[in-house]
Amino acid sequence: MGQVVGRFAPTPSGRMHLGNLFCSLLAWLAAKREGGRVVLRVEDLDQERTSPLFARQAEEDLKFLGLFWDEGGSLGGPHGPYEQGKRSPYYQELLDRLEALGLVYPCFCSRAELHAANAPHASDGEVVYSGKCRSLTAEEITLRREKRSPALRLRVPEETIAFVDGHYGLVEQDLATECGDFILRRSDGVFAYQLAVVADDAAMGVTQVVRGRDLLSSAPRQIYLYRLLGFPEPEFAHAPLLLAPDGRRLSKRDRDVSLEALEEKEYTGPEIVGKLAFLAGLLHRPEAVTPQELLPVFSWDKVPREDVCLPQGLF
């Protein structure tokens, strides 16, 4: 087996918050504990909602915590560009391959129509697509194109995808009933996360994907894409989410949990890392520590499986 290759994949839509940093720390530890490398890729597919300014800031935030990477970002490397917004030709090439297999079809359903259909919802809250546009005739497609640009969906089989998550164990998903045909390219021409992330992880040689539990239900779809495209599948490990003290999801709009706010309180990088490591179950009490010093104590067995609420007064 070759060297482990992990990755950071920030979305530059705002300053990184504690939840982003918590997951980044675990991703770095998981790769480096195995003597691996880490790639930094910027997930800026939606150019209207992201900014190069925040991409550069994400690099500074990671460096501040001592989470250094080996390829990508300002370091560059052999697998660039490392910004998804610049990789559309590659995504189109893979989309063409899937179309040649007869697995892609246009979908003209609006978001409102999808929700009005009273379709079941997947575990991640997404609507399970009913297949309404799956069997449109060529004539129907032509008529609908005159009124609306379609999204492109991938046909999924009646098949259960199973894999062993490095933290949550066996995960199984029936693609047809728990996911449905999923989008590869939106109606506005933006490529979907599912296709882009598989394309990039494969092209960049990523063998280990560590990310938040909110993306756990995406893994079976991505594994299906890996298999269709003939790419080796990475190992997945999903981390619990870090929640606000009141139990709500953290947001980049919550300035009080951003790294910017912590810097203003004059926290050092090792102090923040120590508190995150404490929340991850790696330390018995919060104390200043570097990521490198955590390598001997890192184990997924210590990390909680339930989401973690920030204790009042910890930061």
Find the CATH number of the domain harbouring 117: 3.90.800.10
pLDDT at position 141 is 92
Q: Exposed, middle or buried by CB within 10 Å (0-12, 13-18, 19+), for 315? A: middle
Domain contains 156: yes
Q: Following CA atoms 23, 1, 172, 177 in sequence, which dihedral angle do they give, to the nearest 10 degrees?
A: 90
pLDDT at position 256 is 62
Pick from 12, 27, 6, 2: which is nearest to 276 by CA? 27
CATH code of the domain in which 263 resides: 3.40.50.620
Domain contains 244: yes
Are the C-beta atoms of residues 243 and 63 closer than 8 Å to each other? no
Quote the domain boundaries for residue 105.
88-162+169-193
Residue showing tokens 């950071």:
8
Same domain, 103 and 77: no
Same domain, 148 and 130: yes
Domain contains 221: no
Same domain, 95 and 151: yes
pLDDT at position 234 is 98
Element (H, E) at 245: none
Same domain, 180 and 100: yes
DSSP string, 119-154: --B-TTSPBPP--TTTT--HHHHHHHHTT-PPEEEE
Domain contains 218: no
Same domain, 73 and 100: no
> Over its length of 315 residues, how does the chain's per-residue pLDDT go in tens digits?
689 999 999 999 888 889 999 999 999 999 999 999 999 999 999 888 899 999 999 999 999 999 999 999 999 999 999 999 999 999 999 999 999 999 999 999 988 777 665 555 555 557 789 889 999 999 999 999 988 999 999 999 999 999 999 999 999 999 999 999 999 999 999 999 999 999 999 999 999 999 999 999 999 999 999 999 999 999 999 999 999 888 888 877 766 678 888 888 999 999 999 999 999 999 999 999 999 999 999 999 999 999 999 998 888
Tally the domains of the chain. 2
pTM across the whole model: 0.92
Q: Exposed, middle or buried by CB within 10 Å (0-12, 13-18, 19+), for 24? A: buried
Q: Which amino acid is at 84?
A: Q
Same domain, 102 and 157: yes
Q: Binding site: which residues?
A: 7-11, 43, 107, 109, 129, 133, 193, 211, 252
Catalogue the active-site residues.
Answer: 252
Same domain, 31 and 126: no
Burial of 66-88, coded b for 16+ CB within 10 Å and e otherwise, reads bbebebbbeeeeeebebbbbebb
Are the C-beta atoms of residues 151 and 186 closer than 8 Å to each other? yes
